[in-house]
Amino acid sequence: MELSVLWFFLVTVLFIGFFFLEGFDYGVGILVPLLGRDDTERRLLLNTIGPVWDGNEVWMITAGGAMFAAFPNWYATLFSGFYLALFLLLAALILRGVAIEFRSKRDDLAWRDLWDWLLCAGSLVPALLWGVAMTDLVAGVPIDAGMNYVGSFWNLVTPYALVGGLLTLFVFTFHGSVFLTRKAPRELADRARRTAGRVGGVAILVFLLMIVFSYAKGVIFDKAGAGAVFGVAFLALVLANWLVRKGSTGWAFVLSGLTVAGITLANFWDLFPRVMVSSLNPAWSLTVYNASSAPYTLKIMTITALVMVPIVLVYQGWTYWVFRKRVSTRDLEY
Amino acid sequence: MELILARLQFATTSIYHFLFVPLTLGLSLLVAIMETMYVRTGNETYKKMTIFWGKLFLINFIMGVVTGIVQEFQFGMNWSGYSRYVGNIFGAPLAVEALVAFFLESTFLGLWIFGWDKLSKKAHVTTIWLVAIASNLSAFWILVANSFMQEPVGYVIKNGHAEMTSFAALLTNPNVWYQFPHTVLAGFTTGAFFVMGISAYHLLRKKHGDFFRRSFNMGLSLGIVSLLLVLVMGHLQTQHLFQAQPMKMAAAEALWNDANPAPFTLVAGIDQKDQSNSFAVQIPSGISFLLYYSLAGGVPGMKTIQAQEAAQYGPGNYIPPVGTVFWSFRVMVAAGGLMLLAVLLAWYYKRKGRLEDKAWLLWAFLWAIPLPYIANIAGWVMAEVGRQPWIVYGLQQVQQAVSPNVSAGAITASLVGFTLLYGLLAVADVYLLTRTAKEGPETEATSKPVTVVEGVSLWN
């Protein structure tokens, strides 16, 4: 296999890991001020992701770095093209990170309330934008012969892309609420379960709409494999909802994770071997071949990744093991 | 227009990011040492120190993290020409940084914050050491990337862009091995002055004497060592830069014409248009001595280097904004000198056992907290502005690097957005740091767990 193809696969894996992990972080972030009725409850909810959210976010940093190193043209076209959307994403991520770290450093309730709502907004915006971006990637955007995006911000905000955004928003929120049923103290976990039921229902409807829309546009379902994975993701979501209702939240979490992974995989599958689709002329699309780095760089990157990724997985996994128990007020930090 | 805006945005976001990074480098080390002392001696004061300084560390750390994401994204957003041209090379250290350092730092920081009751003492202190090591490792990879911009090595130009030929050459780039120690030691200095300044404030108020005396002394030890080493590294780096980037150094010395012996210019009136200085206060043979340890020795001036570069790269203006480079260099050195004076005085009075009687000196340390920040920023302004018009020295100029498809309106919108957001966050950050620093360590009464609901308790 060519190294550039391997790196497309690795970037896909990084995004799956990122959305799986940060997906529930975003979900919890959105739910903190909505589910938590007082300060202690909000702290408890936040502390379910407290020890891990920052490490989870590094999956995004790594995916970005991997794109830059392995596919400089993909990185350059995507980031300069989706300029204002990325600015919004960055602003949201900045507010979100600062909110998590700052909110409990003062006793003032107004201070904490302000940061909790900023956390909610700062989690909601990226959860929506990632779906919009992923949908734009597969649907195609105006790219000229020189690999430059020639549209405006509004070319990205199509009805189809918005449905894609709503899909990740609701799926991530569902994923987060299922996560809370496992990690939050009992009373809050019960509340999270009821929320999961409602959010999950909406997620199923949005997913159905997305399937119809995609099929009509000839996107995702134009490739049997991608379409099948997308279908499996939908079934996983339905099953996860049923399991939440039944009370087997552990399996529900596995399946909500599978939903996240399936949606991501289906999109990247549909993309391959293209990395950015030109809506102006199929010949102007960027592919793993014309967007990638030279073999030497890819070789260096491959060795680094093969050594480091397993190590990272081991110590991140160990962190989850250390914090495997439900959060209690005994160990609040944020 | 787009170029100016993109450069302004890069300057704003990078300078802002680098307000937080050096303190992370220095304070993570100090907190790790404090906790090590706690584990080894069992003295509760060290645990309280770890928690107090650790809290300030965390407030600062997150600002560095979130503004760092912007750094990774903006090369693609504003500098797509650059990203395409050198992504083969420049992207690799960034990706390696994330894989090798940033994962380690973030994951173990989470364990450190939340692991007090879940890990053994030894495992817990190991987590903060891993955070400190990873932060500094992170700096290394970023500086590998930056060094390629200053002094490109290990590449070949092929198919219209730069391709990597030797990863080892990137890692052994001479510039890295001057810039990395210089930057990291400047970070340690920043941490030392932060701790000394806040400790001085409390020593003046005669509160928590033992706590802040120990803190101050730790800062002082690190401060003296780091400052002396920064000085040595800075000196060696300057010698190297005269060879590797002669234009940058000639500008930093406002040296228009070749000189032998070359004087060191203390202050000068710089006229960029006329390519001359209206006046200059100089130490004769100063530069020759610093470079060759001799009173004689030639140094090329900007006009000569301009002619050489025009012959090599084609017609154009290769002289950076001289005033900015010249003055930022002096501001950095002057701030360093003041810091060195302060730590030497503190060391002298501490040996005599009279440090805490010298209120003026303690006040000076409180007001000296900004000094390392000024030096850090001035140093980077010199390094980056001094490289203009190049984005990668000798390979690509900034006007070829800027994104061709991003409109002035889009850059303006994001520039205004970032500036407002960063401004508001700066207010919140300074407010939180000041309040936390002023409060001092928690007393016995407040550090006890408070029962909030039956059977569970809440640590504040």
Tell me the pTM: 0.94
The secondary structure of residue B448, as a DSSP letter, is S
Of residues B73, B96, B425, nearest to A98 (C-beta): B425
Q: Out of B95, B108, B118, whose CB is closest to A68? A: B95
The answer to whether A249 and A178 have CB atoms below 8 angstroms apart is yes
Task: Per residue of chain B (460 residues), give pLDDT as tens.
Answer: 899 999 999 999 999 999 999 999 999 999 999 999 999 999 999 999 999 999 999 999 999 999 999 999 999 999 999 999 999 999 999 999 999 999 999 999 999 999 998 999 999 999 999 999 999 999 999 999 999 999 999 999 998 899 999 999 999 999 999 999 999 999 999 999 999 999 999 999 998 999 999 999 999 999 999 999 999 999 999 999 999 999 999 999 999 999 999 999 999 999 999 999 999 999 999 999 999 999 989 999 999 999 999 999 999 999 999 999 999 999 999 999 999 999 999 999 999 999 999 999 999 999 999 999 999 999 999 999 999 999 999 999 999 999 999 999 999 999 999 999 999 999 999 999 999 999 999 754 444 444 443 333 333 3
B214 touches B187 (CB < 8 A): no
Contacts of A98 in chain B (CB under 8 A): 62-63, 66, 425, 428
Q: What is the dihedral of CA B157, B158, B160, B163, to 10 degrees?
A: -70
**C-alpha to C-alpha distance for A8 and A274, rounded to whole angstroms:** 10
Q: How far apart are CA A158 and CA A131, in angstroms?
A: 12
Residue whose tokens read 């001479």: B174
Is B104 close to A315, i.e. CB distance below 8 A? yes
CB contacts of A297 in chain B (<8 Å) are: 88-89, 91-92, 163-164
CA atoms within 13 A on the CB side of B166: 9
Residues in chain A: 334
- CA–CA dist A327, A329 (Å, integer): 7
Here the tokens at position B349 are 């009075």
Contact between A91 and B77 (Cβ < 8 Å)? no
Residue B334 is encoded by which pair of tokens? 């002057």
A325: nearest CA partner in chain B: B118
Do B87 and A69 make contact, defined as CB atoms within 8 angstroms? Answer: yes
Q: Which residue has the tokens 């056992």?
A: B353
Tens digit of each residue's pLDDT (9 = 90 or more) over A239-264:
999 999 999 999 999 999 999 999 99
Closest chain A residue to the Cα of B419, Cα to Cα:
A91
Of B98, B117, B449, the CB nearest to A62: B98
Chain B: nearest CA to A57, how far in angstroms? 9
Rounded to a whole number of angstroms, the distance from the CA of A129 to the nearest CA of chain B is 15
Instruction: Pick the closest to residue B196 from B217, B181, B167, B174 (CA basis).
Output: B217
Q: What is the pLDDT of residues A264-301, one digit of tens each?
A: 999 999 999 999 999 999 999 999 999 999 999 999 99
Q: Is the pLDDT of residue A30 over 80?
A: yes
d(CA A130, CA A142): 19
For the stretch B359-373, pLDDT in tens is: 999 999 999 999 999
Phi, psi for A147 (deg, rounded to 5)? 70, 15
Please tell me the distance from the alpha carbon of residue A315 to that of residue A317, in angstroms, as a whole number: 5
Q: For A189, phi and psi rounded to 5 degrees?
A: -65, -40
CB A87 within 8 A of CB A64: no
Give the total number of structural domains in chain A.
1
- Judged by CB atoms closer than 8 Å, whether chains meet at A51 and B453 is answered as no
Amino acid, res. A172: F
Q: A24-34: buried (b, 16+ CB within 10 Å) or exposed (e) per residue? A: bbbbbbbbbbe
CB neighbours of residue A288 within 10 Å: 23
Q: Is the pLDDT of residue A185 over 70?
A: yes
SS (H, E, C) A63-102: HHHHHHHHCHHHHHHHHHHCHHHHHHHHHHHHHHHHHHHH
CA distance A259 to chain B (A): 25
Residues of A in contact with B435 (CB under 8 A): 106
Contact by Cβ (8 Å): B81, B404? yes
> Closest residue of A to B62, CA-based?
A98
pLDDT (0 to 100) of residue A330: 65
What are the boundaries of each domain within chain B?
A: 2-245+320-458, 246-316
pLDDT of residue B450: 45
Residue A146: partners with Cβ closer than 8 Å, 6 or more residues away: none
pLDDT, average across residues A102-112: 91
The vertex-B134 CA angle with B391 and A52, nearest 5°, equals 110
Asked if A205 contacts A238 with a C-beta cutoff of 8 angstroms, the reply is: no
Give A287's strand partners: A274
* Integer CA distances (angstroms), A26 to A174, A193, A287, in order: 10, 17, 31
Enumerate the β-bridge partners of residue B456.
B453
Give the residue among B146, B133, B219, B135 at the shortest CA–CA distance from B178.
B146
Domain of A304, in residue numbers: 3-331
Chain A residues close to B77, C-beta within 8 Å: 79-80, 83, 86-87
In chain A, which residue's Cα lies nearest the Cα of B117? A331
pLDDT of residue B444: 46
Interface predicted TM-score of the whole assembly (ipTM), two decimals: 0.93
CB atoms within 10 A of CB B142: 20
- For B300, the token pair is 């090329």
> Cβ of A329 and B98 within 8 Å?
no
Give the gap in angstroms from C-alpha B160 to the nearest C-alpha of chain A.
12
Give per-residue pLDDT as tens, A191-228: 999 999 999 999 999 999 999 999 999 999 999 999 99
Residue B279 token pair: 């006046």
Cis, peptide link before residue B389, omega less than 30° from 0: yes
Chain pair A-B, CB pairs under 8 angstroms: 240
CA distance B159 to B161: 6
Which residue is listed with tokens 């052994």?
B172
Alpha carbons B387 and B394: distance in angstroms, whole number: 9
Whole-number pLDDT of residue A332? 65
d(C-alpha B460, C-alpha B453), whole Å: 15
Give the integer Cα–Cα distance in Å for A48 and A38.
Answer: 16
Residues of B in contact with A301 (CB under 8 A): 92, 95-96
Phi–psi pair at B391, nearest 5 degrees: -95, -40
Distance separating alpha carbons of residues B110 and A333, to the nearest angstrom: 10
Beta-carbon contacts of A1 under 8 Å, excluding residues fewer than 6 positions away, are none
CB–CB contact B100 A308 (8 Å): yes
Q: Which of B72, B114, B164 sits opposite A297 (nearest CB)?
A: B164
Q: Which residues contact B455 (CB under 8 A, 6 or more apart)?
A: none
pLDDT recorded at residue B207: 85
Strand extents, DSSP E, B40-191: 155-158, 161-164
- Output the CA–CA distances (angstroms, integers) from residue A61 to A90, A317, B78, B97, B100, in the order listed: 12, 19, 18, 10, 12
Contact (Cβ atoms closer than 8 angstroms) between residue B284 and residue B261: yes
- Token pair, residue A123, equals 């989690």
Q: What is the CA radius of gyration of chain A?
A: 20
Residue A48 main-chain phi, psi, to 5 deg: -65, -30
